[in-house]
Structure 1
Amino acid sequence: MSQLSFPYNRPPLPPFTAESARLKVQAAEDAWNTRDPERVALAYTPDCEWRNRDRFLHGRGEITAFLREKWSRELDYRLRKELWAFTGNRISVRFAYEWHDNTGQWWRSYGNEQWEFAANGLMSRRYASINDQAITEEARRLLS
């Protein structure tokens, strides 16, 4: 269980400006690159709604379990996110991440996400569309 008490604020808070939206996107990128499911899950409301590819998740428990499983098979994961658009309490990002599977095959995964935030700055909805492309190790762009 987290040592944080709820509810709490997770700045920057909506409504977003260009600067605060960029900060929110960078904070998400930084957190995801830790590959720490518990840390990442704290950015979401306890009842957060997710769509990730063809999977639908509800709540921090399912999100944490999903991320544990994801990073157990997406090895040496490295992510970059870019602000695409924002308004009010919503942010849209595009992203790319690279990883390899347990056979050594490298992948680049591209996609976009639509985020919606609660007033306290926690994400209440995340909808992600993602496509994968097999790459050679030499073709990697997102080096640590």
Structure 2
Amino acid sequence: MESKPPLPPFSEETARQKVRMAEDAWNSRDPARVVQVYTPDTLWRNRAEFPQGRDAVKAFLERKWARELDYRLIKELWAFAGNRLAVRFAYEWHDDSGDWYRSYGNENWEFDDNGLMRRRYASINDLPIAQEQRLFHWPLGRRPDDHPGLSELGL
């Protein structure tokens, strides 16, 4: 049986750790890596898409990162209880025309006893921004530890 610590029930410390681990995985933009933190039968809602299972989530992420270029994400814990986390996030990206966006959202996560996410419900809004309005300037990949989070950036 797969296990992805930290395991529920979450404390504030382990909830924050789980959120940062998810942020790091998503910033890798590697669908094969990202899907390993979800149950094989995971259920998602992401905007108007409802992928079910790792294969569908992997295909979704491949399409997402082919469209959302130079993607950089920050996640922040909002609330936690037992095996559930509420997370807010923002990410910046541009399309193939060079138009920049900052996407804002909230996610509700539910984990199984092994620390794998079995449910992910996301609501997301996109804000067109000028390149000069970008706030996420680290090199592609993991956000540096000294880079401000959402609250510090006033987002």
Q: Same fold (TM over 0.5)?
A: yes
> TM-score with structure 1 length normalisation?
0.95
Q: Give the alignment's Cα RMSD to 1 decimal.
A: 0.4
Cα distance, 1:106 vs. partner?
A: 0.3
Whether 1:58 and 2:52 are equivalent positions in the alignment is yes
Query: 2: distance between equivalents of 1:62 and 1:9?
Result: 21
Q: Give the Cα separation in 1 of the matches to 2:41 and 2:116.
A: 11
In the other structure, the counterpart of 2:145 is none
Which of 114, 117, 122 in structure 2 is aligned with 1:120?
A: 114
Paired position in structure 1 for 2:82: 88
Output the amino acid matched with 1:73. Answer: R
| Shift, 1:9, TM fit | 1.0
Q: Which runs of at least 4 in structure 1 moved beyond 2 Å after TM superposition?
A: none
The correspondence of residues 9-24 of structure 1 with structure 2, limited to 5 A, is: 9-24=3-18
Count the aligned residue pairs: 138
Q: Work out the CA distance in 2 between the residues paired with 1:79 and 1:13.
A: 23
Q: Report the equivalent of 1:136.
A: 130
* Greater strand proportion: 1
- Uncovered stretches (5+) of structure 1, i.e. residues with no partner: 1-6
Work out the percentage of aligned pairs sharing the same amino acid. 64
Distance in 2 (CA, whole Å) between partners of 1:39 and 1:141 is 26
Q: How far 1:130 sits from its partner (Å)?
A: 0.0
SS at match of 1:54: coil
Unaligned stretches of 5+ residues in structure 2: 139-155
